[in-house]
Amino acid sequence: MIALTSELTAAAWWSTILLLKLASFPAIIGLTRVGRKIFVTSEDVKFFGSGQMKVDDAVVERRRRAHLNDIENILPFIGLVTIFAATGAGDAGCVNMISKIFTGARVIHTLVYLGEVSQPARGLAWAVGMMCNFYIGGRILLHLY
């Protein structure tokens, strides 16, 4: 086994949590489609015995958009936090703290998105996560310069 620094261990742990969050969404979307009997292919309608083909169901699309938003925000964070940890731009405590804030913001973002909580809740949760990305990105650049 490769010996990781405490910074890289923290980055790996939080990255794994975030990747599991991403990995859970296709199941959530699929179960929503099955539960609502809304499918995107005729073979799915045949397989499940009933339902309709529809690509614009509001409930399914809301879950799908939440997943796409996670992809757009979580993947850059994983890359940045790994570089942040590997270069020594932040210590383990900083890696843990920024990862907790980012992960919390993404969980809140998902809950308010799926729960249809009115703005600005979703926007604020998104902004907190984005600030985390820009913060560690800036710290990396300053550290490497």
pLDDT grade for 72, boundaries at 50, 70 and 90: very high
In the chain, the percentage of residues whose pLDDT exceeds 70 is 99
Task: Give tens-digit pLDDT for 16-62.
Answer: 999 999 999 999 999 999 999 999 988 988 888 888 888 899 999 99
Q: Is residue 88 within a helix (H) or strand (E), and if so which, with residue range? A: none
Angle at which helix 58-87 crosses helix 92-114, to 10 degrees, equals 170
Tokens 């339902």 label which residue? Answer: 51
Residue 122 has pLDDT above 90, yes or no: yes
What amino acid is encoded at 138 in this protein? G
Strands 52-53 and 38-39, how do they pair? parallel
Residue 129 has pLDDT above 90, yes or no: yes
C-alpha distance from residue 140 to each of 71, 105, 109, 136 (Å): 22, 21, 26, 6
Task: Give the residue-averaged pLDDT of 70-95.
Answer: 96
pLDDT grade for 97, boundaries at 50, 70 and 90: very high
Residue 114 has pLDDT above 90, yes or no: yes
Under a CB-based contact definition with an 8 Å cutoff, are residues 130 and 123 in contact? no
Q: Residue 52: helix, strand or coil by DSSP?
A: strand
pTM of the model: 0.91
What is the rounded CA–CA span in Å between residue 103 and residue 142?
24
pLDDT grade for 3, boundaries at 50, 70 and 90: confident
Residue 2 has pLDDT above 80, yes or no: no
Under a CB-based contact definition with an 8 Å cutoff, are residues 38 and 52 in contact? yes
